[in-house]
Structure 1
Amino acid sequence: MLANLAMEAGELEKAEKLFVNVMRRLVSKGVAQDDNAIVDMSLKLSKIYQKKGDMEKAEAGYKFCVESQEQKCNAAGVVGRDNDTLYLYAKSCDGYARLLLTRKKYAMAESMFRAAYRICLEANGDGSSQCLVLLNDIGITLSLQEKLEEALKVLEDAVRLAEQLKAPELASFQVNLGVLLIQKGLIIEAEKSCKAALGHAHKNKDEDATQEAEACLKSIHDLKASNL
């Protein structure tokens, strides 16, 4: 679809117009406004609005997508839900959660991440890397709300599952756990987590995770130096 190509190329105005035109054409042909094809394009439009800085339109769009998919899933029941609808529901919750994070609406973001995680588990089971990323996101959102004990449990679960599955995100999860442990004043445990992260990052040649782990260890070094 030309709209997708325009979006990938960063031509946001062009992509917006193309998506709107396609949606109007589909609706005029009798396609329901909550059809997965319409919701999928609405989700992409919401991301475009977010990138353009129109947060009100973006938030309204994400809410429409979440509510549309929620209503369809509830109406279908557990047995009648199809994976395409579930996947789009999870994507909508995830996109909305990330917008809410940028607006510092942490409690609402947590609720959306939890919804996305629950749907991901239903569709994929707990062996999915997508579900692990969402679990990690829940932990980070909890920490932003100063719910440190709850965040610790969630991030420890994310690291444990990532270790079992040998997930490529393991190093990043370990860094996030290390940062939380620093917040809690557990410096020895934090250093252990970030050193493990650095080892996994080097092994996987993950430059971003390497930088994150090194930054974590530098913070620990500086803390130790300030306490001398």
Structure 2
Amino acid sequence: MSAHNKYRYIWNTLLRASANLRSIHSISFHKTSRRKYTVPCAMGFSLFTWLGFEKKLSAEDELIHTIKHCILFIQKNEYEKAEQLLHVALRQAQQIHHQLGITYIYDVMANLALQREELDKAKQLFIIVTQRIMANGVLEDDPRVVHLSVKLARVSHLKKDYSTAKLGYDWCLEKLYKAVEIDPTDHSKKLLAMTEDWYGRLYLECEQFEKGLKYMVHSLNRMREVPDIEKEHLVVQLNDIGTVYDRLGKAGESISYFKEAIDLGKNLDMDLGTMYVNLGRAYLKSQLLDAARKSCGHAWKLGVMSKNQDVKQEAELCIKQINNLG
């Protein structure tokens, strides 16, 4: 059985799975400290927002009002409140038999579960959304199905089921490359970039750094072309690519990515201490001791001001290494 057919078989098996709605009783942004590779949040990239759901629901004011409050709670990281209100919204949609509203709410629930890494719940919810869409005659090549397939591959990835995740990512990338070639919309490019980034990080976890770097750089270049990408997302990608170059012993390349990440992040409300430490260590490996001391010294100041002990300690270690060489 070919890889493509094998994934299709796995996919069809998932879709035939029984969706026990009663088991759905409860539905962080990235952290840089103490983590070698971080994963940018994709919560804002919801399937039905992309497809213009809000306009279609304009007549159902009460339901829209509830859903908007759900999204607001999610944006404020008040996840428990968001989940409680999502179930209220689900009951509202069911009472007025608003099928698109029901599907949309399940999609928001699924994305929230994925963001919180409640993986079994996320998997079940994404399957429910896909079943509801395909019940209306939508085919597997439809952008909505590909979008959901990416999320299911991500769930397998986070569950460390790497073989299934790889099959899923490969299948989705095949569809997305064709879609972008035919109609390169910002939405399709964004989904492709997100998929490449996740796939690259899977390869990092499997210690296949060259492959991982290739996908992450492709993702970054695509993200640069999408006008509504959050700058914070680009900062994280730049820093993480720099970290991979550093892991591969390519300090010169890593310095350029760390510097770009810092330059972009200076105008944002972000903790850049870890990035200054990364830059300092890259300078150290390049024997640029004055630049290394300056960068790690600034990281130490940021760690003290923000009371971030991890950054402070990492900066102190970096400075000690510099002094031993100087």
More helix by share: 1
The aligned amino acid for 2:319 is I
Counterpart AA for 1:211: D
Find the partner of 2:323 among 221, 224, 228. Answer: 224
What TM-score comes out, normalization by structure 1 length?
A: 0.80
Secondary structure, counterpart of 1:32 in structure 2: coil
Look up the match of 2:150.
43
What is the one-letter code of the residue matched to 1:97? Answer: G
Distance, in Å, in 2 between the alignment partners of 1:139 and 1:122 is 20
| Letter matched to residue 148 of structure 1 | A
1:82-139 C-alpha deviation (Å, 9 max, x unpaired): 3222221221111111111111111111111111111111013898222222222222
Q: Which residue in 2 is equivalent to 1:20?
A: 127
Aligned to 2:212: 109
Q: Which has the greater radius of gyration?
A: 2
TM-aligned CA distance change 1:213 to 1:62, over 3 Å: farther
Partners of 1:6 and 1:160 lie apart in 2 by 33
Offset, 1:30: 2.5
Contact residue 142 and residue 150 of structure 1 kept, 8 A: yes
How far apart, in 2, do the equivalents of 1:142 and 1:134 lie? Answer: 12
Q: Which consecutive aligned stretches of 4+ in structure 1 deviate over 6 angstroms post-superposition?
A: none
Counterpart for residue 188 of structure 2 = 85
User: Percent identity between the aligned chains?
Assistant: 26
Which segments of 5 or more consecutive residues in structure 2 lack a partner in the other structure? 1-105
1:74 and 2:181 are equivalent in the alignment: yes
Letter in 1 for 2:301: G
User: In structure 2, do the counterparts of structure 1 residues 126 and 60 end up closer, same or farther at CA, with 3 Å as the change threshold?
Assistant: closer
Matches within 5 A, 1:117-136: 117-124=220-227, 128-136=231-239
Give the 3 Å change call, closer, same or farther, for CA 73–15 of structure 1 in structure 2.
Answer: same
Higher relative contact order (CA 8 A, sep 6+): 2
Show structure 1 runs of 5+ residues with no match.
none
SS in 1 for 2:207: coil
Q: Report the alpha carbon displacement of residue 183 of structure 1 after superposing the two structures with TM.
A: 2.7
Q: Aligned-residue CA RMSD in angstroms?
A: 2.8
Tell me the amino acid that sits aligned with residue 134 of structure 1. Q
Q: 1:125 to 1:184 in 2, by over 3 A?
A: farther
Q: What amino acid maps onto 1:176 in structure 2?
A: N
- State the TM-score, normalizing by the size of structure 2: 0.58
With over 3 angstroms needed to count, the CA separation of the structure-2 counterparts of 1:126 and 1:3, relative to structure 1, is closer
Q: Is the 8 A contact 2:140 2:146 kept in 1?
A: yes
Does 2:272 align with 1:170? yes
Q: 1:191 touches 1:217 (CA, 8 Å); kept in 2?
A: no
Q: Of residues 166, 191, 199 in structure 2, which corresponds to 1:96?
A: 199
The alignment status of 1:214 with 2:316, answered yes or no, reads no
Pair 137,11 (structure 1): closer, same or farther in 2 beyond 3 Å: closer
